[in-house]
Structure 1
Amino acid sequence: MSHQSGHQHHIWVQSHNPAKSELELQQKLQKEPTFYYFAFGSCMCPVDLKRSLGENTHPYVISPGVLKGYRLGFYLISPARKCGVLDVVPDPQTSVNGVLYELPWRLSEYLDQREGVAQGLYRHELVDIHCQEQVYKNVRTYVAVNKLKEEAAPNDWYFNVVLRGAITCGLPEEYCWHLFNKMYNLQQSHQKQQIKLSA
């Protein structure tokens, strides 16, 4: 928060009315254009998201949310991370847990860069997210453009970031175990394939 504006009377007002200056800051933030974003992979971790967006993203977390009618899968290999990364695919029988953010619109371009939209890795998909007993409409999420036929294993770094985000943002314990088992089993299968190839 800037307490040094160069106007002496302004500093006096702020120092004697902290509640008023806090209210002004909140009102300014509310006026800023925003968009809803549903993260289900590494972006669930606000610490890792900060790395790409350049500012603390914890304040923008609304709550854990649920994307119904989709399932998780590692159907994309990230050129940057050199491993399988998460995607969602339509499936009426299941749902995906994740984190719902309300991000300032000025961060939209940075998020697209992180997700490789210009490179054709991911594209926007607008979805409905069930969160805090209501439904958020037209929420942005990212889906892989050219999906693999078989899932690719994550590396240890991606594995840890996804789990840390899920746990930090309060996803259900059962779902966190589901994520852990999915990633662990993919890694085990990948290791077995590597052993066969090298034998």
Structure 2
Amino acid sequence: MSLHSIQTPAESTYPTLQEPGFYYFAYGSCMCPVDLKRSLGESTHAYVLGPATLSGYRLGFFRRSQLRNCGVLDIVPDPTASVHGVLYYLPQRLSDRLDQREEGYCHETVTIHCQDRVYPRTRTYTVMEKLTEEIAPNDWYFNVVLRGALTCGLPEQYCWQLFHHMHELQQQEFSQQMLRSA
């Protein structure tokens, strides 16, 4: 990639913010602006820039959320993969609330592709203490992740892959529970 292909969006491409902000790439439950609103205390629809892609990573459920009592999404380096998600431009005043929501995760600065533009220095979150095996999401988390992916226009094929991955993890967990109870 040449330096000429990296474009920092002009001020006019930001949502109408009258305050400093930051780019945020969401790939899990935060893709859903309704769910993000629940944590941040205000509507986030106006902050959505659109569907976006993170190259060189893949998704995995390498963290058990105590709050949700299930596996939750994480990103792990994989040079052959990419992760689709949602790019937001959030007001800086929401940064602490987002950090609080992402307890157990740490900031990672990544480069995101969104609508034929490159967004270097974009914040995302990655699990600090990754498990060695994936843990299935519960039905609530499964649904909110899919709702965010569909609502924000992620590619249909990716949504199906996400659905199948989560469903497969749930089926594996169910089979293991059946074996233990037998």
Residue 169 of structure 1: aligned partner? 152
Query: Where does the alignment leave 5 or more consecutive residues of structure 2 unmatched?
Result: 1-15
Counterparts of 1:22-171 in structure 2, within 5 Å, are: 29-116=16-103, 121-171=104-154
Determine the C-alpha separation between the residues in 1 that align with 2:152 and 2:115.
14
Determine the C-alpha separation between the residues in 1 that align with 2:73 and 2:85.
12
TM-score, normalised with respect to structure 1:
0.83
Query: Where does the alignment leave 5 or more consecutive residues of structure 1 unmatched?
Result: 1-28
Determine the C-alpha separation between the residues in 2 that align with 1:132 and 1:115.
26
CA contact (8 A) 2:17 2:91 kept: no
Determine the C-alpha separation between the residues in 1 that align with 2:141 and 2:135.
12
Question: Stretches of 4+ moved more than 6 A in 1?
Answer: none
TM-score, normalised with respect to structure 2:
0.91
Name the one with the larger helix percent.
1
Give the CA RMSD over aligned residues: 0.7
Aligned AA for 1:147? K
Whose Rg is larger?
A: 1
Residue 179 of structure 2: aligned partner? 196
Aligned AA for 2:100? Q
Percent identity, aligned pairs only, is: 66
The structure, 1 or 2, with the larger RCO (C-alpha pairs under 8 Å, 6+ apart) is 2
Q: Deviations over 1:99-152 (max 9, x none)?
A: 000000000000001011xxxx10000000011111101100000001010000
Q: How many residues are paired up?
A: 167
Determine the C-alpha separation between the residues in 2 that align with 1:75 and 1:146.
8
Determine the C-alpha separation between the residues in 2 that align with 1:110 and 1:155.
24
CA positional deviation for 1:53? 0.3
